[in-house]
Amino acid sequence: MHQLLITIKDFETRFPAAFQRLTASALFDIHQISSLTDLTEQEKKRLLAQTEAWFLSTERLDETLLNDMPLLSIAAKMGSGMDNINLENCAERQIRVINSKGKNTNAVAEMTLCLMLSVMRHTLPLSAAARDGNWNARCPGNEIRNKTVGLVGFGMIARRLAALLAPFEAAILSYDPQMDAVAARQLHVTPVSFDELLSASDIISVHIPGLPQNEGLFCRETFLRMKKGAFFINCSRGSLVREADLYEALRSGHLKGAACDVFSQEPLPAGNPLFTLPDFIGTPHLAGMTEESMLADSMEIANGLISHFSRR
């Protein structure tokens, strides 16, 4: 039997269909832990030395770990982003890497729209006011209708968001160096330059990968190039945003509101100053997590692992 390491908390109870699929294949001796950090250094080295397949989510697979995993033949990432995996080192060692790209597209797009509406309509502070008996709280919001929405990136999630935005009667712009012109026409999206998108958009939503060249793309300079009173939404990667600069753009009133599902440091330490601002919403990196998407994600990876070892 092949030694399969799963480092996803409560995998068996959270993803019973995928766990059952893996066990029914009779291909694997499964080792489940929440995180490698739960182990002593000796326990970790012993486990990694025998691991042939790793089913992971947010754990980092870097060169140091790969040096301790001589038998690893496949790394299976539940989710689409691969920035926690050293793909170059895996390729050098002929380790196959798979993910569940596309399975959470709708979930992330819906959450992006949810955050957009929530921050524009002041949902959280108004809910808190109602809870506290302040029925006279009045904080007029803004509508998406007749606004200009700028999508930074035009991959699967951005395209799905564009489709969800269609009934709102907004103008939609997008910047992407590899713009899909056919999809843009079909979705009534206007391709523009990055500078045009920043200056023309009332709402900016980010949908690009956390690559080194994108780190800190949204900083003081970028925020100042946005329309005064614009809204900023990030459900992509925390490394794209300099949070101190976002804080200042909101505190100064240059941006009217912002919502982020991702942060530069995760788990997010207590005391992030963004949460002191009434016009900011933050959620704990769960845009892609719905019952439907997680079932699809986990089954995609389970089937990929079974297929990989069935061919051997």
Cis, peptide link before residue 70, omega less than 30° from 0: no
To the query of whether residue 215 is one of the catalytic residues in this protein, the response is: no
How many degrees, rounded to 5, is the angle at CA 189 between CA 184 and CA 195?
A: 110
**If you count them, how many residues does the chain have?**
312
Query: CA-CA distances (angstroms) from residue 239 to 101, 191, 210?
Result: 20, 25, 6
Please indicate whether residue 285 is annotated as part of the active site: yes
3-class DSSP assignment, residue 112? helix
- The residue type of 153 is G
Among 237, 242, 243, 300, the one annotated catalytic? 237
* Strand order across the beta sheet in which 171-175 lies: 189-191, 171-175, 148-152, 203-206, 230-234, 255-260, 280-282
H-helix or E-strand containing 152? strand 148-152
**Catalytic pick from 43, 63, 169, 266?**
266
What does the longest C-alpha to C-alpha distance in the chain come to?
Answer: 68
- Exactly one of 122, 242, 285, 308 is catalytic; name it: 285
Task: Decide if 266 is catalytic.
Answer: yes
Active-site residues, by number, are 237, 266, 285
